[in-house]
A = this chain, B = another copy of it.
């Protein structure tokens, strides 16, 4: 756990300022207080005030995703959630879960047994046992990128994939691309299905017939690319839209290994805007998700559910970030 001195060093302020900020002293500005609190949360500092209220506990469950480093997608989502929860004196536990764990522990029972008032679940897929149990849960529950119909105790938070994909296709069309491949993420994921549907809708709206051989489901990792990129290149794709940035990293590598230049020969677009994406040799054009705000909105939704407000979903708009991995089409 971080000390007050470490927080002070990071922010370049005095120890007494940090201490005042954490204790809500009136001679520290509102903005600085927020910054001190946000930084304290990020660095894992916990105030006594938080520990006192032992029964205010929330849990974040993460499946099949990394979150330990700020380069990981989930890091900022969790951070945003914690920053908001901390302000209302919740303690937040982060637990990685597996399908095996879900088969051993029923969701509601686990929550009750451990005294959690509510939960935020990230990375679950449609075949997960807990997704099925959450259809009827009585525990306030927020799902990231997953949706359960009819249960007023469950909300869905995510980014509008449809709008993101549509802006990306519009961008590629504007650059003259028509042979557009889509290397999507894993099957059995709601977000994969939404993005596929968005791709079909947008291609249709732009009057571009979809060649199904230019569509594939890998998984949300860079290694997905090697199984599909050769086919896309053989079929003359001039642009490859990717289910996330990690896939895009793999796609760029596979293209370059085969002597195709990005963006001169092939345009590549990611989804997420991970911190690394701006710093690749060829900086990635991508559909940005605001992860800190997604975390904050997830807390907001959970706060609503805890107060019996049946928030069904909160969707953030994506932001399209044009960098260097897309360019005008050149006939091959």
A272 within 8 A of partner (CB): no
Give which listed residue, B167, B310, B311, B319, contacts A319 with CB less than 8 A.
B310
Interface positions of A from 130 to 187, Cβ below 8 Å from B: 149-150, 152, 160, 163, 166-167
A314 within 8 A of partner (CB): yes
In the bound complex, do residue B290 and residue A311 qualify as a contact, i.e. CB atoms below 8 Å apart?
no
In the bound complex, do residue A314 and residue B311 qualify as a contact, i.e. CB atoms below 8 Å apart?
yes
Most buried by B among A152, A296, A312, A313: A312
A25 within 8 A of partner (CB): no
Of all chain B residues, which has the CB nearest A153?
Answer: B317
Chain B contacts of A304 at CB under 8 A? Answer: 293, 297
Cα separation A20 to B313 with both chains bound (whole Å)? 37
Cα separation A297 to B163 with both chains bound (whole Å)? 22
Q: How many residues of A contact B (CB 8 A)?
A: 23
Give which listed residue, B167, B297, B310, B316, contacts A317 with CB less than 8 A.
B310
Give which listed residue, B149, B290, B309, contacts A293 with CB less than 8 A.
B309
Chain B nearest Cβ from A306, distance in angstroms? 13
A211 within 8 A of partner (CB): no
A64 within 8 A of partner (CB): no
Chain B contacts of A167 at CB under 8 A? Answer: 150
A315 within 8 A of partner (CB): yes
Cα separation A166 to B312 with both chains bound (whole Å)? 15
In the bound complex, do residue A315 and residue B316 qualify as a contact, i.e. CB atoms below 8 Å apart?
no
In the bound complex, do residue B319 and residue A290 qualify as a contact, i.e. CB atoms below 8 Å apart?
no
A300 within 8 A of partner (CB): yes
Cα separation A315 to B310 with both chains bound (whole Å)? 9
In the bound complex, do residue B310 and residue A313 qualify as a contact, i.e. CB atoms below 8 Å apart?
no
